[in-house]
Chains A and B, each alone.
Chain A
């Protein structure tokens, strides 16, 4: 079973006897009996009968009531018109008594019209279905075990009109298709008729129409069947949906609850949905999304009611407050913004709100919300303002105005002394006003961070510590540690840490705000798109924290989807991946067939640039394939390699190739020469000088380009402490810079190169020892002189680059000449290289000790120098061909 099934409810027939309900049997049907179950001393039963007659009759009854109300309405209008007509045409003025005691036919028409109006009102109100609230157990009542009940609750009376419509549709479907039983499939099919269920499947990312069609095909047409009855499973579903609504503390059974139970009770529907990409977790998330929206709608209704009582002019209801004109010119009233409906809802922050209220109730004069940008400090403050309006706050905040002091307005166009004077004026007003809760966003901006000695913080601290008003302030971790923790404010304000929302919390927050984005850009988001944007934002957009990073991404994706697919398009996960790939340059979209072919033959394409070194190439190719297929740990760098080997064997060339293949260009390679970090002090050049921003070469490079290849050249030359710094990077994918910021390395590939033990390797090769033995011996003996075992252990792969053979060198020369050929082609000259020339180059450019570097010099001396002379001498014309043959260079002139 893919989905967790709910415990079965024991259903049976009950009869009423002397005011209590008793169990009769499980299958003894009688019209007088109640079919249901007893829980917590209450009987829950199905009051509605599902049969063809009843469904048809209900339909006709609805029409009948419309006709009756319309006739009454027309009657009222006609008799009123007649009354006006006779009243105006009557020559005598009618005395008032005739309206009470009669005596004239004219008032008769008036009262007849009144009769018709009241009848029309009666028909419409009496036949409007009153949905009974779902019964909620009192404390400890649910666990009460009893076989008798005094009260009975018709659960179908608590079903919404839409839910009952779906059940009726299920019955009709079973009846029309000739089935003897109404099964879960019919209920599912009935639910699919509802627009809200269709929207639900759109959110799930599957087409409701395709699902519907699939079901229609499975229903077999049968003739001569008896009237269908509800199956046992359907009864279970009806009761379980009610129980689920009870547990959710909701007022009526909506189609979402019914749908959830249908899916939980049917393995076949689960299998079908699984093919459409729906699993239990996804379903639960989308159900939660629907619940969030319903709750917000309810909250909004209540909010509107209480907001209407609020004064527009910032006065409390008892009129004890004092107007604050001076403060108003430097601030904005957040409670007023909330009243006008400009604030977005605050969700998944109940714990933080509770701790703020608790702190204020304990007597602290203010709270300081400490958290990084984007974690939702502003949203919490908005939540407080909305709670003030709804009167769901402690006494200290009751009927208060939450006023945000604008720091920019305070400091604009004035000197520090002027700002202090302004602040004193503001604070005096706030202290006297009695109904102000002061909110200062980014309070650290009021402190002098540059150290010039002038700041307004002392003035602020003086007033805040007076205890005459409540203050709410926000700051970030850096601001708190650098300025606030050392000031008097830290004793006045209670600290509340606002952590970054979890992925689950962020999904909820986005689900609550997605309506605004959807309305603004006229697109719809599937759950996959929201989930993906939160996942990718937490992985790739590290500058801002969740949920703000995901929200920004969502807006961008909405615009992109609208531009690409037009209005009313559905945003899916692939659109989110595309935007992230565009922003970061990291390939994360679904691997296309073309790309998967390329990935499977990565070794071949890498060998076009790197000659030999099969082991290194295949190790790297495997790592890249794992990364591309998202089969790697996301809390570590993409891959970490140590390339060992003598100079000129292709270590750097392979690193460049990786940067090109995975990140899309060689410019994505950050090259750090570790020979420059040979003393302990050089560590600060890598991570920055203490207290100074932006001075770390490594940390700044990766902060600016988190998606890069870091090449640590000549690693063995670095100091041991510098090497230890990388232990954390290789293990956790992060490093803390000199000012306490965490720099993320999880989207980087790190390659260290080292020449350590080269002479040992060459000596062993000369002795004819095989590669594997050389590598083992090298790691176990030679490398230990330079690296600690735990350092070596943290690499994903240590690769020994082999010395290039003569054949390899020939291939390298071919590659190098290819570049020369391209340069010449740009001048309109062709280059032809004969095999004898390659042989000649190999003769002079092959030195096993120095790898490919002598070949570069050889080409320079024998080819490039001569070509330069020819070009400068004007002996090369367009369309000429330069032929390299043996040691000679001939120019074949164009015909």
Chain B
């Protein structure tokens, strides 16, 4: 009969856990890790899009700014709102591109690192 040794059992589990921690890393990267990053980027996008409020500017395109209801005011207002919508959309687009770049980097980083190390050690 094998005698039950709690310390040995614990040591084994700790050793196993440290192996899991190392080998689970790439799996985590492409599963939970990717979801987490995408989630965080999505939150960032939401935050910035609310802050830039392109929708609000677009909805109020024909509403005069600062209560200037005369025709000159209305004209100026439409122009200013168009300029705002343009620049705000542009800023949002830049931001989206940056966020996409981050997510693409996330996906290709392990592959790149692996190939880089292989290339470095083989050459």
Question: Which positions in A face B, CB cutoff 8 Å?
Answer: 52-53, 56-57, 60-61, 64-65, 68, 100-103, 105, 107-108, 111, 114-115, 118-119, 122-123, 125-126, 309, 317-323, 432-434
Contacts and interface: CB of A to CB of B under 8 A. Distances in A.
Contacts of A318: 56-57, 59-60, 63
B18 A321 contact: no
B66 A323 contact: yes
Contacts of A52: 6
A118 B59 CA distance: 43
Contacts of A105: 120
A125 B66 contact: no
Given A125-B36, A322-B66, A119 B25 contact: yes
A100 B108 CA distance: 13
A102 B66 contact: no
29 contacts: A53-B6, A56-B10, A57-B10, A61-B14, A64-B17, A64-B21, A65-B21, A68-B18, A68-B21, A100-B116, A101-B116, A102-B120, A108-B120, A111-B116, A111-B117, A114-B109, A118-B29, A119-B25, A123-B21, A125-B36, A126-B24, A309-B50, A317-B53, A319-B65, A320-B63, A321-B67, A323-B66, A432-B67, A434-B67
Contacts of B120: 102-103, 105, 108
A614 B17 CA distance: 89
B67 A126 contact: no
A101 B67 CA distance: 60
Which residue of A60, A119, A317, A319 has the most chain B CB atoms within 10 A of its CB atom? A319
B9 interface: yes
Give the 7 A-B CB pairs with smallest separation, nearest first.
Answer: A102-B120, A322-B67, A318-B60, A102-B119, A319-B65, A318-B56, A317-B56
B33 A319 contact: no
B32 to A, nearest CB: 7
B51 A309 contact: yes
B123 interface: yes
Nearest to A320: B63
B116 A102 contact: yes
A228 to B, nearest CB: 15
Interface in B21-64: 21, 24-25, 28-29, 32-33, 36, 50-51, 53, 56-57, 59-60, 63-64
A412 B49 CA distance: 46
A317 B21 CA distance: 48
B21 A320 contact: no
Contacts of B51: 309
Contacts of B64: 320
Interface string B106-123: 000100010011011001
A418 to B, nearest CB: 27
Given A320-B63, A432-B67, A122 B116 contact: no
A306 to B, nearest CB: 9
Contacts of A111: 113, 116-117
Interface in B58-97: 59-60, 63-67
A525 to B, nearest CB: 38
Contacts of A321: 66-67
A111 B63 CA distance: 54
A107 B120 CA distance: 10
A320 B10 contact: no
A60 B10 CA distance: 9
A324 to B, nearest CB: 11
A118 B109 contact: yes
A53 B36 CA distance: 31
A101 B32 contact: no
Given A68-B18, A317-B53, A318-B57, A122 B25 contact: yes
Nearest to B53: A317
Contacts of A319: 60, 65-66
A255 B56 CA distance: 44
A64 B119 CA distance: 33
Given A320-B60, A433-B67, A61 B10 contact: no
Given A111-B117, A434-B67, A122 B56 contact: no
A840 to B, nearest CB: 101
Nearest to A60: B14
Contact of A53 (B9, B29, B33, B113): B9
A73 to B, nearest CB: 15
A895 B13 CA distance: 106
Nearest to A323: B66
A323 B67 CA distance: 9
Contacts of B6: 52-53
B7 to A, nearest CB: 10
Nearest to A433: B67
A68 B119 CA distance: 28
A115 B65 contact: no
A205 B106 CA distance: 54
A318 B50 CA distance: 12
B86 to A, nearest CB: 16
A114 B116 CA distance: 13
Nearest to A119: B25
Given A65-B21, A100-B116, A122 B59 contact: no
Contacts of B116: 100-102, 107, 111
A375 B50 CA distance: 38
Contacts of B28: 122, 126
Contacts of A322: 66-67
Given A61-B14, A108-B120, 6 more contacts: A53-B10, A101-B116, A103-B123, A309-B50, A317-B56, A433-B67
Contact of B67 (A107, A118, A123, A320): A320
Contacts of A434: 67
Contacts of A103: 120, 123
Nearest to B51: A309
A53 to B, nearest CB: 7
A255 B73 CA distance: 61
A322 B67 CA distance: 6
A52 B4 CA distance: 14
B8 to A, nearest CB: 12
Given A309-B51, A321-B66, A322-B67, A57 B13 contact: yes
Contacts of A123: 21
A126 B65 contact: no
Identify which of B9, B21, B33, B116 gathers the most chain A CB atoms within 10 Å of its CB.
B21
A122 B25 CA distance: 7
Nearest to B119: A102
A322 B117 CA distance: 62
A76 to B, nearest CB: 14
A408 B51 CA distance: 38
Nearest to B118: A102
A320 B65 contact: yes
A102 B10 CA distance: 43
Contacts of B60: 318-320
A126 B32 contact: yes
A322 B68 CA distance: 9
Contacts of B65: 319-320
A118 B113 CA distance: 12
A319 to B, nearest CB: 5
A319 B18 CA distance: 57
A444 B11 CA distance: 79
B57 A115 contact: no
A759 to B, nearest CB: 89
Given A102-B123, A317-B53, A64 B67 contact: no
